Amino acid sequence: MSMTSTDNLVVIEPRIRGFICITAHPVGCEAHVQEQIDYVKKQGPISAAPKKVLVIGASTGYGLASRISAAFGGGAATVGVFYEKPSENGKTATAGWYNTLAFDRKAKEAGLYTHSINGDAFSDAIKDKTIEVIKKDLGQVDMVVYSLASPQRMHPKSGTLFKSVIKPVGQTFTAKTLNTDKDLVKDVTIEPANEQEIADTKQVMGGEDWQMWMDALRQANVLADGAVTVAYSYIGPEVTWPIYRDGSIGVAKLDVEATAKKLNEQLAATGGKAYVSINKALVTQASSAIPVVPLYISLLYKVMKEKNTHEGCIEQIYRLFASNLYNGAKPNLDAAGRIRIDDKEMDADVQAKVDELWPQVTTENLKQISDYESYSSEFLKLFGFGLDGVDYKVAVDPAMGQS
């Protein structure tokens, strides 16, 4: 962030460390939110959509897209829960903070109810606070989206802090990866997770917290009859399986799927449903941290854009709502009962083309045979940079819109 400024105004530039950008642009984040709202409005309203929606993990990526789709596609009142940092001492807030400020403002302008809760969604205190808000303002919710992505979780009962790892299980894994700091294609070798690391990852990224949320909502009688709940997951191609589907994250995701089955049984009495939605690989703050995945995404984007089947977060989630959950649609379920909105990614022809490119890609030809340019620009957009119509040379207040 450039600090050439007067008073509180600064010119904000992207500063990237590893797989995270440590600055965010308030005006750019607002433009990014607006872009997603415009997309949903252009698609038209979703019939029989839920009217009172809770989104847990609502400030970025798939969670934010869910909130936007529910509000601007279905006219829903939304409660969003997230953990983001406001601006302090002239530093920028996190992108999710700016996204939420923009969403709240735009929802209110559209006459839609919105309430945003910033805090640790794993904690009992935030669950209680959320329930209070629902009771007071909405009575009940008829949809719960669970879209939390966090590297660690403080268990609300034991107080133990669990940290997740992104590692293979059972054997060492070596594969190509992309160092996005240096635009370098190289091999990465990752040692397998031990039993403790696997168990800890399951504690952070598994289904227990989703279950705890649903139990708390049901016990407080703020879950409407017929309520739908959905959690997001990923399977992807075999090239990513050792680090994802068959790795420590995969163990946690299998636990999410088991939780969905349990929730389905519990919700059946009131006509409710629980789903796991398998979404496509996209540039998100979470996916950027997973070895191999950024390189795979760069190749995937190239192939899918050539076939005109590429979708971003908002396109994916609008399709989930409009073509799988509501609008009188039936969900596209696989044999395991999971909704598949990764169907265009997993198309046999798409995967064959990615498989063909995978052994060919090197640092030298990266920009020719992949769409690394799109990967980079999508990554920066997550933090509000590179949006059309935003003058990034203009100094802005990092605390813009904070009360």
Residue 234 Ramachandran class (φ > 0 left, ψ -120 to 50 alpha, else beta) = beta
What is Dmax (Cα atoms) for the chain?
61
Sign of CA dihedral 294, 300, 306, 307: negative
Alpha-carbon distance of 23 to 362, in angstroms, equals 30
CA 264 and chain centroid, separation: 23
Can you spell out the DSSP letters for 302-350?
A: HHHHHTT----HHHHHHHHIIIIISTTPPP-B-TTS-EE--TTTS-HHH
Known catalytic membership, residue 244: yes
Angle between helices 61-68 and 26-43 (to 10 degrees): 50
Contact 342, 234 (CB under 8 A): yes
Tokens of 189: 């070798």
Contact 181, 149 (CB under 8 A): no
Count CB-CB contacts under 10 A for residue 308.
Answer: 6
In the set 83, 244, 318, 326, the catalytic residue is: 244
Active site residues: 244
